Chains A and B, each alone.
Chain A
């Protein structure tokens, strides 16, 4: 316990130190650049070169973290000298943009470290034969051969097919059920709406792997939903949800729909809440009926929310892992394997990090495709004025 505490304290200190040094270097460099702009080209060139050192340090860090210290120290020293010499910085009175940099840097450095640096690593892994090791620098570089063997593997095609089928079917039903749920909260209105909202949120809050356990019990072959349906005389013979490949594929989808319709419903409640009520009142005066109102007013005004919700949920569904792992482990056979669950198996069951990374990169590329649409949709929401 004590050693854990100490190691955490050490890591925090190192993190603060790194962020602080990056901040100091960037501020000094920025001030030197502002001064150099009015000076001779030689100074400008030197300042730009020091700026280039930062990029170099970042690149070296991706490839050989140990060697990055040298260019980083050089960049820092250069910025300090230029800042003091050219920018004539004697005291650091922070201006507003510099203050903003200081405030945002801890988040940005961490995001780089835990997302962008990692994805660069995975890309590099995927170009090597890595088995039982991730020290790629001492392993053979094989170019795109991992991707080729991924593409030729029947398991990959099956998993890709199921991932896309899963995403399509699940998101379709989640959308309509979620929209229905959201509209019902406005329909019942009053105090009941609050109760209903609370109930809708509950499935969303349950951790995915636990919801997988719940559904595993619900689909239990002997005394689950299937036997219950037989007991009530709905079905004649017992279907075995998680054993038959086709049933298993759809059982997983049902479990996902149960949990994630809530998510769509929450997004839609938010979207419906900002549709001004007077539009509906006006429509009522004009004699517009229920379904007509829905098609001509609700849907068009909700379109931005719907687009964002579908993209958001789609990106999430493509990378589904927990539910599969907890419910079927990809079985029976490989019939419910998604790309993510296959990648995980390659990493941690077979220790084939190179191949696993190639699978991971494929998931990433598909998500990225949707992500580009997503970001272009939400971009206008990212505009914050600032004081």
Chain B
């Protein structure tokens, strides 16, 4: 005679799994829900007690204010410009490097990869002051490229590794066949390997994009006081200090700022997992 527990083991297991899923979902989304609901409240009502979890009359006024009066679209545009150029330049630099690492034979291969990965571990706080000086000397301070150029190399180590692990999976017969067809080495890279690695390229580009979209320390120093070149993180930070009571506005800004990254990450969800584990897990 089986006990009730044993008879319903499958159903209990399923219920528990679903319950855990719900708990995790709440854990991940509640702070975001809170900000989203605040952003829909009429100005001032975010301080009403008892606290409303969802506004009685949702309004988009905060968004209108943030966009029209605070000019939030400027930092949003800046951030896109910076992150997109970073991603593209990073792909150019790291795809070639990854090709060398994954498909070509040369000495010091492991050493040069270690060099790259060790570099990525250097905390930004150690490099920020000299980087600031360097950018000042080449006359880039208070401009968008001042963020792009360092960000490119901040993203290169991860992108190189991710792409190398992607290139390494392609069959080596590809190169042999291309050589027979008379392709020169650079053509092999450009016409054979790259087209086959588009998903990997997108993923690496996405990491560079997200990394530089959220980069704050350098951006805060480089754009000091210049509103035209502020990126999203700097703008949000300044908002939350300038209008420290207007949380409907700040929340609207936050929602506008995170919508693009969340969309991108959800599209490339599979690649996030793969990209982050490229370092720790050998596929």
Residues of A bordering B, CB below 8 Å? 4, 7-8, 11, 94, 96-97, 99-101, 103-104, 106-108, 110-111, 113-119, 121-122, 125, 134, 177, 180-181, 184, 187-188, 192, 194, 196-211, 213-218, 220, 222-223, 227-228, 231, 258, 262-263, 266-267, 269-271, 274, 304-305, 308-309, 312, 315, 318-319, 321-322, 325-326, 339-340, 343-344, 347-348, 353, 356-357, 359-361, 363-364, 367-368, 371, 374-375, 378-387
A117-B122 Cα distance, complex, nearest whole Å: 12
B194 contacts the other chain (Cβ, under 8 Å)?
A: no
Most buried by A among B100, B185, B239, B266: B100
Known contacts: A308-B279, A322-B217. The answer to whether A7 contacts B102 by CB under 8 A is no
Please name 29 pairs of A and B residues whose Cβ atoms are closer than 8 Å in the assembled complex, sorted by A. A99-B104, A104-B97, A107-B97, A108-B116, A111-B157, A114-B127, A118-B131, A184-B24, A197-B269, A201-B272, A202-B266, A205-B262, A206-B214, A210-B254, A213-B239, A214-B31, A218-B35, A227-B49, A258-B28, A269-B277, A270-B277, A305-B280, A312-B279, A319-B124, A326-B216, A360-B126, A364-B122, A364-B126, A386-B104
Q: Contact at A101–B129, with CB atoms within 8 Å?
A: no
Q: Which residue of A lies closest to B95 (CB)?
A: A103
A204-B114 Cα distance, complex, nearest whole Å: 26
Q: Contact at A210–B236, with CB atoms within 8 Å?
A: yes
> Separation in Å of the A150 CB from the closest CB of chain B?
14
Known contacts: A97-B106, A199-B28. The answer to whether A344 contacts B128 by CB under 8 A is yes
Q: Contact at A206–B261, with CB atoms within 8 Å?
A: yes
Q: Contact at B113–A116, with CB atoms within 8 Å?
A: no
Q: Contact at B124–A321, with CB atoms within 8 Å?
A: yes
Q: Contact at B119–A115, with CB atoms within 8 Å?
A: yes
> Separation in Å of the A143 CB from the closest CB of chain B?
19
Known contacts: A100-B100, A119-B126, A321-B124. The answer to whether A213 contacts B237 by CB under 8 A is yes
Q: Contact at B127–A213, with CB atoms within 8 Å?
A: no
Q: Contact at A134–B21, with CB atoms within 8 Å?
A: no
> Separation in Å of the B185 CB from the closest CB of chain A?
5
Other A-B contacts than A104-B97, A204-B272, A382-B117, 10 sampled, CB-CB below 8 A, are A11-B140, A106-B93, A111-B115, A122-B130, A180-B24, A207-B215, A231-B50, A274-B281, A319-B124, A385-B168
A31-B157 Cα distance, complex, nearest whole Å: 29
Give the total of B residues in contact with A, Cβ under 8 Å.
114
> Separation in Å of the B186 CB from the closest CB of chain A?
8
> Separation in Å of the A71 CB from the closest CB of chain B?
20
Q: Which residue of A lies closest to B79 (CB)?
A: A207
A184-B221 Cα distance, complex, nearest whole Å: 41
Q: Contact at B20–A187, with CB atoms within 8 Å?
A: yes
Number of A-B contacts (CB under 8 A): 345
Q: Contact at A114–B150, with CB atoms within 8 Å?
A: yes
Q: Which residue of B lies closest to A8 (CB)?
A: B145
Q: Which residue of A lies closest to B104 (CB)?
A: A100
> Separation in Å of the B8 CB from the closest CB of chain A?
16
Q: Contact at B129–A218, with CB atoms within 8 Å?
A: no
Q: Contact at A4–B236, with CB atoms within 8 Å?
A: no
A103-B95 Cα distance, complex, nearest whole Å: 9
Contacts of B123 in A (CB 8 A): 318-319, 340, 360, 363-364, 367
Partner of B126, one of A113, A315, A361: A361
A129-B155 Cα distance, complex, nearest whole Å: 33
A357-B273 Cα distance, complex, nearest whole Å: 35
B210 contacts the other chain (Cβ, under 8 Å)?
A: yes
Q: Contact at A7–B273, with CB atoms within 8 Å?
A: no
Q: Contact at B51–A231, with CB atoms within 8 Å?
A: yes
B10 contacts the other chain (Cβ, under 8 Å)?
A: no
> Separation in Å of the B223 CB from the closest CB of chain A?
12
Most buried by B among A210, A216, A385: A210
